[in-house]
Amino acid sequence: MAVNETERRAMSRALELATLGPRGVNPQVGAVILAPDGEIIAEGWHHGAGTPHAEVDALSKLAPGAARGATAVVTLEPCNHTGRTGPCALALIEAGVSRVVYALDDPGAVSGGGAERLRSAGVSVDAGEQADVAHRIIEGWLTAQRLGRPHVTVKWAQSLDGRAAASDGSSQWITGSAARADVHRRRADADAIAVGTGTVLTDDPSLTARDGDALFEDQPVPVVIGSRTTPEEAAIRRHPQAPLFYDTHDLHAVLADLHSRGIQSVFVEGGPTLASAFVAAGLVDRVLAYIAPVLLGGDRLALTDIGVSSIDAAHRLTIEEWLPLGADLLAIAAPAHSPEEGI
């Protein structure tokens, strides 16, 4: 049975609801319950660990029997396991729901399988509606489920000829205000923001996410990687979130520790050395390259040695989007192969 226009609109609403939930060890999920005539009769979302999942949150707002024959539209496949809460697939079956439309399959070995359980109970199931949008909302959680580490985005700003700074080291500002505002919005969407000690000592960044002069409500945890000491008067020490310092060059160990702290997305912004290290280690899930229409020349490259000695060894990317930002251009790219292989 094909997804109809009413169900598509309901999925758009469910995706909006998903973003109301907190980021954390559980995915952000939204749900909408449609009556047989297509009217929305209940909405829900996941409010955090230990609380009812989105489907159950929506069902809880209905009188007993009110969901019989209804359609549940959910952003993630209803779970099929008992944790702090019971399986959502079973809750939908017991409520009498006759159809389920969801966006993304649950990748969990334990929690997955809800769709098959629903079909076995005679429930009509359709998957994949607006999967790309749903993926963007919970990509950190999905990466953590697949790879056991946070989702890593590496960002840099460069001149048209690939330089991150002029010969004297100055780099403020290569890009314009629209590009810088875009960076801050993306910072606010990340759980953590990482720089190297070189960037801290050279630029003294605050690493906050700002909306003009004001701070966004959500602030990434600042992470400093490297063996040099961060001065006590450094701006990063005044960040709203307590900084994390890693006296190591072992990026796998850093990501493992961040993962253990519940951090599921990391925004790497800390200069060519750190960006290149993440690329060379195969630990990049997305690249954000802000390209300004200026020429700088010199040797201050946006990336340094990433372990490529011949064209055959090049790290191939797939462009997801070209986004104009004032006079600048943002290239959003991801590995051309599976994330498990690394960039």
**Residues 176-206: pLDDT tens digits?**
999 999 999 999 989 999 999 988 888 888 9
Q: How confident is the model at residue 100 (pLDDT cuts 50, 70, 90)?
A: very high
Q: Which of 23-32, 68-77, 273-282 has the lowest mean pLDDT?
A: 23-32
Q: List, as one string, the DSSP characters of 285-313.
A: SEEEEEEES----SS-BSS---S--SGGG
For residues 298-304, average pLDDT: 88
The pTM assigned to this predicted structure is 0.80
pLDDT tens digits, one per residue of 73-84 = 999 999 887 666
**Tokens representing residue 7 in the block:** 């169900």
For residues 30-35, average pLDDT: 96
191 C-beta neighbours (distance < 10 Å), count:
22
Q: List, as one string, the DSSP characters of 321-342.
A: EEEEETTEEEEEEEESS-GGG-
Domains and CATH numbers, the chain: 5-137 (3.40.140.10), 149-341 (3.40.430.10)
- Say which residues have a Cβ less than 8 Å from residue 160's Cβ, sequence separation at least 6: 291, 292, 293, 294, 295
Percent of the chain with pLDDT over 90: 66
94 is catalytic: no
Set 5, 7, 39, 55: catalytic member: 55
For 35-150, strand residue ranges (E) read: 40-45, 71-76, 99-104, 124-127
224 compared with 112, residue with greater pLDDT: 224
Whole-number Å distance between alpha carbons of 192 and 267: 6
